[in-house]
Structure 1
Amino acid sequence: MRILIVGGGVLGTMHAWQAVERGHEVVQLDRELEARGASVRNFGLVWVGGRASGPELATALRARELWERIGAQVPELGFRPNGSLTVVRTEAELAVAREVAQGEEAADRGYKLLDAAETRALNPALGGEYLGALWCDRDAAVEPRTAQPALREYLTATGRYTWLPGREVRGLGEHGVIDQTGEWHGGDVVVLCTGAALGGLVRELAGDLPVRRVRLQMAQTEPLGTTLTTSVADGDSLRYYPAYRGPALDRLNDTQPQPEIAAEHRMQLLMVQRRDGGLTIGDTHEYEEPFGFDVTEEPYDHLNAVALDLLGRPLPRIVRRWAGVYAQCADRDQVVHRARVGGNAWLVTGPGGRGMTCSPAIAEETAAEIGF
Structure 2
Amino acid sequence: MPHGSAFDLAIVGAGICGLAHALAAARKGKRVVVVDRDRQANGASIRNFGFITVTGQQAGACWQRAMRSRDIWIEVAAAAGIPIQQRGLLTIARRPEARAVLEEFLQSDMGAECRLVEPPDLPGFGAGLRWREFAGALYSPHEVRVESRDAIPQLAAYLAERHGVTFLRDTVVHSAAPPRLETSRGSVEAETVVVCPGDDFFTLHPERIAGYGLTRCKLHMMRLLPDSFDPALPAIMSDLGLVRYLGYAEQPAAKALRQRLEAEQGEHLHNGVHLIVVRSADGSLVVGDSHHYAPTPDPFNPTGVDDLILDEYARVFDGPPPSVGERWIGTYASAPDRLMLVDAPSDALRIVIITSGTGASTSFAIAEEVVADLFG
What is the TM-score of this pair, normalised by structure 2? Answer: 0.91
**Stretch moving more, 265-274 or 85-94:** 85-94
Q: Shift in Å at residue 210 of structure 1? A: 4.2
Against the structure 1 CA distance between its residues 247 and 31, is the aligned structure 2 distance closer, same or farther, given a 3 Å change threshold? same
Whether 2:328 is the aligned partner of 1:303: answer no
Contact persistence 1:41–1:144 (CA under 8 A): yes
- State the alpha-carbon separation in 1 of the partners of residues 252 and 346 from structure 2: 46
How many Å apart are 1:122 and its aligned residue? Answer: 1.2
1:130 aligns with 2:134: yes
Give a deviation string over 1:253-292, Cα, whole Å, max 9, x none: 2234252430220110111111221111111111233423
Deviation, 1:68, is: 1.3
Deviation at 1:195, TM superposition (A): 0.5
CA distance in 1, matches of 2:315, 2:177: 57
The answer to whether the 8 A contact 1:271-1:281 is kept is yes
1:186 aligned onto 2:168: no
Partner Cα distance (1:104, 1:204) in 2: 39
Where does residue 111 of structure 1 map in the other structure? Answer: 114
What residue in structure 2 maps to residue 370 of structure 1? Answer: 374
**Structure 2 equivalent of residue 340 of structure 1:** 344
Q: CA RMSD of the aligned region, Å?
A: 2.0
Runs of 4+ in 1 over 4 A off after TM superposition: 204-207
TM-score, normalised with respect to structure 1: 0.92
Give the one of 148, 169, 178 matched to 2:152. 148
Residues 357-366 or 110-119, more deviating = 110-119
The answer to whether residue 89 in structure 2 is matched with residue 84 in structure 1 is yes
Match status 1:68 vs 2:74: yes
Aligned pairs for 1:175-254 (under 5 A) are 175-181=179-185, 183-204=186-207, 206-222=209-225, 225-226=228-229, 227=231, 229-244=233-248, 245-254=250-259
Cα distance in structure 2, aligned partners of 1:155 and 1:103:
37
Q: CA deviation at 1:350?
A: 2.7
After superposition, the Cα gap between the structure-2 partners of 1:331 and 1:163, relative to the gap in structure 1 and judged at 3 Å, is same
Q: Once structures 1 and 2 are overlaid, which stretch shifts more, 362-371 or 155-164?
A: 155-164
User: Do 2:177 and 2:349's aligned partners in 1 also have CA atoms closer than 8 Å?
Assistant: no
**CA deviation map 1:34-81 (0-9, x unaligned):** 1111101111111111011111111111111111111221222x2356
Structure 1 pair 157–115 and aligned structure 2 pair: CA distance change class (3 A)? same
Structure 2: gaps (5+ residues): 1-6
1:263 partner amino acid: L
* Deviations, residues 7-42 of structure 1 (Å, cap 9, x unaligned): 010010111111111111111111111111110111
Contact between 1:120 and 1:127, CA under 8 Å: does it hold in 2? Answer: no
Please state how far the C-alpha of 1:197 moved relative to its aligned partner: 0.8
Counterpart for residue 19 of structure 2: 13
Displacement of 1:296 in angstroms is 0.9
Q: Give the corresponding residue for 2:359.
A: 355
CA distance in 2, matches of 1:159, 1:194: 23
CA distance in 2, matches of 1:89, 1:175: 55
Displacement of 1:116 = 1.4
Q: Which runs of 5+ in 1 are unaligned?
A: none
Amino acid at match of 1:250: K
How far apart, in 2, do the equivalents of 1:173 and 1:136 lie? 43
What CA distance in whole angstroms lies between the structure 2 residues aligned with 1:159 and 1:294? 40
1:70 and 1:140 mapped to 2: Cα distance? 12
Q: 1:255 to 1:221 in 2, by over 3 A?
A: closer
In structure 2, C-alpha distance between the alignment counterparts of 1:82 and 1:6, rounded to whole Å: 32
Query: What is the Cα deviation at residue 159 of structure 1?
Result: 5.9
Alpha-carbon separation, structure 2, partners of 1:354 and 1:41: 12
Give the structure 2 partner of residue 331 of structure 1: 337
Alignment-mate amino acid for residue 316 of structure 2:
L
Give aligned pairs, total.
366
- Which one of the candidate residues 119, 123, 127 is aligned to 1:120? 123
Partner amino acid for 1:117? Answer: P
SS in 2 for 1:5: strand
* Deviations 1:96-131 (CA, angstroms, capped at 9, x unpaired): 222222334310xx3211011222211323255423
What secondary structure is seen at the aligned counterpart in 2 of 1:262?
helix
Q: CA deviation at 1:341?
A: 2.6
Q: Does 1:291 align with 2:294?
A: no
Distance of 2:232 and 2:24 partners within structure 1: 33
Is the counterpart of residue 316 in structure 1 residue 322 in structure 2?
yes
- Per mean C-alpha deviation after superposition, the further-off stretch among 97-106 and 111-120 is 97-106
8 A contact 1:176–1:185 mirrored in 2? yes
Match of 1:98 among 78, 99, 103: 103
Deviation at 1:351, TM superposition (A): 3.9
